[in-house]
């Protein structure tokens, strides 16, 4: 799963005018952006901005009301199975089987992608080593710490070597050591050719990890550019870091309801 797939930068995925409503409330409002190979895109937005909905729409878990997703220039609807094989999603809520061992959890996800036999075994070994859980492979995640569960969740999401990986808040509720480890894993994945969309409320993680930043609020895309360009643009307007840019754009009101 960790083979080098270095390429020139090209557009791997493009979203065009994605729209989605729940109960007549529009939670995605014509979202469009392009993802280049090798990007680590930080997707920021207050609670309820629509980040997870966007993830679910891309992954085909929810159906968009309008808009298209292009993967290597082709509408994903034309070959949804191919797209799903090349996409990895680390969900916000940990999705593991507590009564299976760590090994069998990864095996389950690997077999969903059609891997079996020696190739499946090799992939399981590789990803469990990658996340530092090979020695704990026989234990079930019910005995794991929060950080270990998050790492196992990542192993399950990359066992099929996705070209593009969407990570929805993969570092919630874990200690700085585990977070640091996960940051390192993401950088390694990127160096080895995986393109990453990284959702987090920890702006310092986005600052550290991402080359591009998208900020959305109330279902709208507010900013989409190279991180350094955004920082330079807003520095001139008195914002010293990404957090102050974020608060300038999205305000300080609590998001307890809809707009
Ligand atoms: N299944 C659903 N049914 C109805 N409304 C929903 C559903 N899922 C999400 N929503 C609403 O859509 C809006 C966007 O939610 P979403 O979870 O995508 O936001 P988010 O940016 O991921 O928020 P958070 O940072 O809290 O995870 C919210 O107002 C939410 O209440």
Given this model, what pLDDT does residue 173 score? 87
Residue 82 within any structural domain of the chain: yes
Residue 2 makes CB contacts below 8 A (sequence gap 6+) with 126, 130, 161, 188, 189, 192
- Distance CA(176)–CA(13), nearest Å, equals 32
Q: Mutation test of ligand 1: which of 50, 219, 258 has the most ligand atoms closer than 8 Å to its C-beta?
A: 50
Residue 21 within any structural domain of the chain: yes
Strands ordered across the beta sheet of 25-36: 25-36, 11-22, 66-71, 74-75
Question: Phi and psi for 119 in degrees, rounded to 5?
Answer: -60, -40
Residue 127 within any structural domain of the chain: no
Q: How many helices (H) and strands (E) does the chain have?
A: 9, 10
What CATH number is attached to the domain comprising 241?
3.40.50.300
Q: If we measure between CA atoms, which residue out of 35, 75, 67 comes closest to residue 211?
A: 35
Residue 137 within any structural domain of the chain: no
Residue 30 within any structural domain of the chain: yes
Burial of 16 from C-beta contacts in 10 A (0-12 / 13-18 / 19+) = middle
Domain that holds residue 223: 11-92+164-250
Residue 152 within any structural domain of the chain: no
Residue 174 within any structural domain of the chain: yes
Given this model, what pLDDT does residue 5 score? 52
* Ligand 1 proximity of 91 Cβ (cutoff 6 Å): no
Distance 107 CA to ligand 1 centre (A): 31
Q: Mutation test of ligand 1: which of 49, 170, 197 has the most ligand atoms closer than 8 Å to its C-beta?
A: 49
- Distance CA(50)–CA(20), nearest Å, equals 9
> 250-259 contacts: CB < 8 A, separation 24 or more?
250/45, 250/46, 250/49, 250/215, 250/217, 250/222, 255/46, 255/47, 255/48, 255/49, 258/25, 258/48, 258/218, 259/218
Question: Phi and psi for 40 in degrees, rounded to 5?
Answer: -115, 105
Q: pLDDT per position in the chain (259 positions), as tens?
A: 555 555 567 999 999 999 999 999 999 999 999 999 999 999 999 999 999 999 999 999 999 999 999 999 999 999 999 999 999 999 988 889 999 999 999 999 999 999 999 999 999 999 999 999 999 999 999 999 999 999 999 999 999 999 999 999 999 989 999 899 999 999 999 999 999 999 999 999 999 999 999 999 999 999 999 999 999 999 888 899 999 999 999 988 887 765 5
| Ligand 1: residue whose CA is nearest its atom 29 | 48
- Distance CA(191)–CA(193), nearest Å, equals 6
Residue 43 within any structural domain of the chain: yes
Distance 89 CA to ligand 1 centre (A): 17
Given this model, what pLDDT does residue 147 score? 92
Half-sphere exposure of 61 (CA within 13 A, CB side): 10
Q: Considering just the CA atoms, what is the radius of gyration of the chain in Å?
A: 18
Instruction: Tally the domains of the chain.
Output: 1
Given this model, what pLDDT does residue 256 score? 72
Q: Mutation test of ligand 1: which of 20, 23, 27, 214 has the most ligand atoms closer than 8 Å to its C-beta?
A: 27
Which ligand 1 atom sits nearest the alpha carbon of residue 50?
A: 18
């Amino acid at each position: 799963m960790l083979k080098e797939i270095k390429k020139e930068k090209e557009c791997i995925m493009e979203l065009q005018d994605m729209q989605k409503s729940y109960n007549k409330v529009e939670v995605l409002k014509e979202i469009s952006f392009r993802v280049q190979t090798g990007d680590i895109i930080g997707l920021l937005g207050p609670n309820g901005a629509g980040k997870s909905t966007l993830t679910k729409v891309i992954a085909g878990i929810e159906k968009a009301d309008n808009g298209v997703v292009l993967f290597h220039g082709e509408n994903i609807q034309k070959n949804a199975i191919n797209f799903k094989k090349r996409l990895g999603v680390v969900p916000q809520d940990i999705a593991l089987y507590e009564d299976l061992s760590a090994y069998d959890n990864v095996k389950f996800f690997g077999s969903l992608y059609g891997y079996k036999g020696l190739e499946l075994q090799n992939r399981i070994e590789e990803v469990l080593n990658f996340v530092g859980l090979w020695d704990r492979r026989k234990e079930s995640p019910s005995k794991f710490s929060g950080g270990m569960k998050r790492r196992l969740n990542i192993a399950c999401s990359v066992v099929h070597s996705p070209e593009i990986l969407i990570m929805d808040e993969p570092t919630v509720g874990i200690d700085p050591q585990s977070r640091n480890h996960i940051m390192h894993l993401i950088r390694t994945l990127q160096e080895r050719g995986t393109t990453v969309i990284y959702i987090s409320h920890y702006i310092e993680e986005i600052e550290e990890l991402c080359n591009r930043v998208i900020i959305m609020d109330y279902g709208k895309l507010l900013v989409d550019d190279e991180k350094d360009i955004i920082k330079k643009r807003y520095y001139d307007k008195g914002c010293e870091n990404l957090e102050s840019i974020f608060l300038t754009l999205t305000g300080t009101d609590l998001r307890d309801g809809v707009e």
